[in-house]
A and B are shown apart, each in its own frame.
Chain A
Amino acid sequence: MTKLGKAFENKKAFIAFITAGDPDLETTEKLIYEMVNNGVDLIEIGIPFSDPIAEGVVIQEADLRALENGATTEKIFDLVAKIRPNIDIPLVFMTYCNVIFGYGTEKFTSKCEEIGIDGLIVPDVPYEEKDELLPFCQKHHLELVSLVAPTSKDRITEIAKNADGFLYIVSSLGVTGVRSEIKTDIGEIVKAAKSASDIPCAVGFGISTPEQAEKMCSQADGIIIGSAIVRIIAKYGKDSVKPVGEYVRSIAEVCHKV
């Protein structure tokens, strides 16, 4: 069992994303506890980046708010170090390559290990470039999550075979953000991945409603929701803890029933 695999143990996993420091780090701390208490199985903590090219407007703006309000990699490390002893579920960082590289990849990954981060998701490091991070992740016991997309086709089996933690299935073309409909045949991608590996497969990009969550959970091992949560945070700011809790509970209930 991998560290991230724990989220998928005996159930469909609900993975939630938030941008650290949006609207501020105190609220982020409360949001993480609230999400854990309402049934989230794994949390992706986004370290904001000035130029997040894989993100839609909702997360772009969250990154901007967080940076403007003074969030830095260092302060986010401090936050995780503080809350980690109270949290049982796996925690990963989601960020862009230059945030890691600019901090110093060895220093960044060693710090992650020290504070109890279990893995990394880095959308601008594809399979071909994984050596940029993988040796450091292995040294510091971090699981580097691989992504596959609707365009991956013949690449899926090779990526799945070498994937660690879980396989992140990008549901649709385009950037992150809420979508009314997911047209990709997720079942086909999962089938291709499973033919090469028994790694858990979680679907992200575009999921927001309990109906979508249920449908995706029936085709994969879990789901990832980011923009729909960040949108609530954008709307309620420091008062978003309760509405986010209610929202994630509604999704967790659906996922855990499937």
Chain B
Amino acid sequence: MSKGRFGIHGGQYIPETLMNAVNDLEKEYNFYKNDEQFNKELTALYNEYAGRPSLLYYAEKMTNDLGGAKIYLKREDLNHTGSHKVNNALGQALLAKKMGKKRLIAETGAGQHGVATATVAALMGMECEIFMGKVDTERQALNVYRMELLGAKVHPVTSGTMTLKDAVNETFREWVSRIDDTHYVLGSVMGPHPFPTMVRDFQAVISKEIKSQILEKEGRLPDAVIACVGGGSNAIGAFYHFIDDKDVRLIGCEAAGRGVDTPENAATMANGRLGIFHGMKSYFCQDEFGQIAPVYSISAGLDYPGIGPEHAGLKDAGRAEYVPITDDEAVNAFEYLSRTEGIIPAIESSHAIAYALKLAPTLPKDKIIVINISGRGDKDVAAIARYRGVDIHD
């Protein structure tokens, strides 16, 4: 079995042209991850620039309203740039800089990773180009303008379904064309090794903080950690330091779109099967001939036909559970958290909240749930209004 495996998943299924690039990246990452200076600089960026540690907030009103388990929200939405994506973007950009790269390229779905990458590129004085499905540039127009404000060039991708998977295709194609001075800041725990491991390490700060924060507040570990999954970076970040704590349930919420039984969903764990795509062996939505299926979700960030290989491994091992959440459930949760706690969550994160709304009332009051609020919802307000039939002229 080749490198970067999680059970049978993972690997490096990429064109030969990129092999030396990922091998170099692996070598440099393995050096810098243990380098004191690198870690000092990264921690300073996390704390002084991105606003870490993010709060672990006790959602008292929500807890009382649901009448079951005690609910905490991990506030990744409060990070600079408004989502967990900045954790990974800072880590990779710092590494790329140490490697002497001058230019960052990245894919983005909802635009959160694109914004995070454009932000750190501005900070570090690097060139930045973002690839985004044309459909997503339309439903997340605000983020496109935001990236341009930050000095990035945004390329609308018109191939295939014009969403996240096509943006990933196009970013790989760009990377193959220009490797020497360019680093591909992959936005999730996917792609060829070392990306799934490296991105997970940069995001693992989330669960590291949750653990110490909950121990301080409650004196014990939570009973469940809930996060949304597309590629799965915020979820793996929220799960990672609990994987060995077998009593903590790890629950990933994937996008069921208009329903897992309809053709319009992105529920990889529910409907996908084992495949090899985007550099990795994992689960993918595909047809009987291995053609990648067009997927759909109201959330541009979860609108992806695969899932990171470590999640596939956690599922196989029975360590994590994955549940489908429909558009309707997510939109209801979006509105619920806004009204109940005065926190407008990203539509992606709303998938995790939606599951908590089902789970919490079934649990006794002495149980504790942590929901990872991976991002804030400002970017989604116009889309939610449209979903509700309200025209707000955005």
The contact of B16 among A49, A51, A149, by CB within 8 Å, is A149
Chain B residues with Cβ below 8 Å from A123 are 15-16
The contact of A53 among B2, B12, B172, B284, by CB within 8 Å, is B172
Chain B residues with Cβ below 8 Å from A60 are 159
B178 touches A173 (CB 8 A): yes
**Chain B: how many interface residues by the 8 Å CB criterion?**
38
B176 touches A129 (CB 8 A): no
Chain B residues with Cβ below 8 Å from A99 are 289-291
A53 touches B169 (CB 8 A): yes
In the complex, the number of residue pairs spanning A and B with C-beta atoms less than 8 Å apart equals 121
Chain A residues with Cβ below 8 Å from B17 are 149-152, 170, 173-174
Chain B residues with Cβ below 8 Å from A175 are 173, 176-177
**Chain A: how many interface residues by the 8 Å CB criterion?**
42
Chain B residues with Cβ below 8 Å from A67 are 291
Query: How far is B19's CA from A159's CA once the two chains are assembled, in angstroms?
Result: 12
Decide if A153 is an interface residue (CB 8 Å cutoff). Answer: yes
Decide if A186 is an interface residue (CB 8 Å cutoff). Answer: no
A98 touches B290 (CB 8 A): yes
Instruction: Annotate A109-132 by CB proximity to B: 1 below 8 A, 0 otherwise.
Output: 000000000000001111111011
Among A27-35, A100-108, A191-199, A220-228, the stretch that binds chain B is A100-108
Chain B residues with Cβ below 8 Å from A126 are 12-16, 19
Decide if B275 is an interface residue (CB 8 Å cutoff). Answer: yes
Query: How far is B177's CA from A170's CA once the two chains are assembled, in angstroms?
Result: 12
Instruction: Annotate A60-80 by CB proximity to B: 1 below 8 A, 0 otherwise.
Output: 100010010000111000000
Nearest CB on B from A202, distance (A): 14
| Contacting residues of chain A (37-94) with chain B, CB-CB under 8 angstroms | 49-51, 53-54, 56-57, 60, 64, 67, 72-74
Instruction: Annotate B83-105 by CB proximity to A: 1 below 8 A, 0 otherwise.
Output: 00000000000000000000000
Query: How far is B209's CA from A106's CA once the two chains are assembled, in angstroms?
Result: 47
A128-B291 contact given A60-B159, A173-B17, CB 8 Å threshold: no
Decide if A36 is an interface residue (CB 8 Å cutoff). Answer: no
Decide if A97 is an interface residue (CB 8 Å cutoff). Answer: yes
Instruction: Annotate B1-30 by CB proximity to A: 1 below 8 A, 0 otherwise.
Output: 011000000011111111111000000000
A128 touches B3 (CB 8 A): yes
Query: How far is B17's CA from A60's CA once the two chains are assembled, in angstroms?
Result: 19
Nearest CB on B from A154, distance (A): 8
A127-B16 contact given A72-B289, A98-B284, CB 8 Å threshold: yes
Decide if A147 is an interface residue (CB 8 Å cutoff). Answer: yes
Nearest CB on B from A140, distance (A): 18
Decide if B288 is an interface residue (CB 8 Å cutoff). Answer: yes
Decide if B165 is an interface residue (CB 8 Å cutoff). Answer: yes
A152-B290 contact given A51-B160, A53-B169, CB 8 Å threshold: no
Decide if B179 is an interface residue (CB 8 Å cutoff). Answer: yes
A129 touches B20 (CB 8 A): no
The contact of B13 among A102, A103, A124, A159, by CB within 8 Å, is A124
Decide if A13 is an interface residue (CB 8 Å cutoff). Answer: no
Chain A residues with Cβ below 8 Å from B14 are 124, 126
Instruction: Annotate B160-180 by CB proximity to A: 1 below 8 A, 0 otherwise.
Output: 100001100100110011110
A152-B19 contact given A98-B277, A101-B275, CB 8 Å threshold: yes
Decide if A155 is an interface residue (CB 8 Å cutoff). Answer: yes
| Contacting residues of chain B (274-318) with chain A, CB-CB under 8 angstroms | 274-279, 284, 286-292
Query: Can you pick out 18 interface pairs between chain A and chain B where the beta carbons lie within 8 Å of each other?
Result: A50-B292, A53-B173, A57-B159, A67-B291, A98-B292, A99-B289, A103-B289, A103-B290, A129-B13, A132-B13, A149-B15, A149-B16, A151-B20, A151-B21, A170-B15, A170-B16, A173-B17, A175-B177
Q: A124-B14, A151-B20 given. 13 additional CB < 8 A pairs?
A: A50-B291, A51-B160, A53-B169, A57-B159, A123-B15, A127-B16, A129-B11, A151-B16, A151-B18, A151-B21, A155-B16, A170-B15, A175-B176
Interface residues of A (CB under 8 A from B): 49-51, 53-54, 56-57, 60, 64, 67, 72-74, 97-103, 123-129, 131-132, 147-153, 155, 159, 170, 173-175
Sorted nearest first, the 6 A-B pairs with minimum C-beta distance are A102-B290, A174-B177, A149-B17, A98-B290, A50-B291, A97-B276
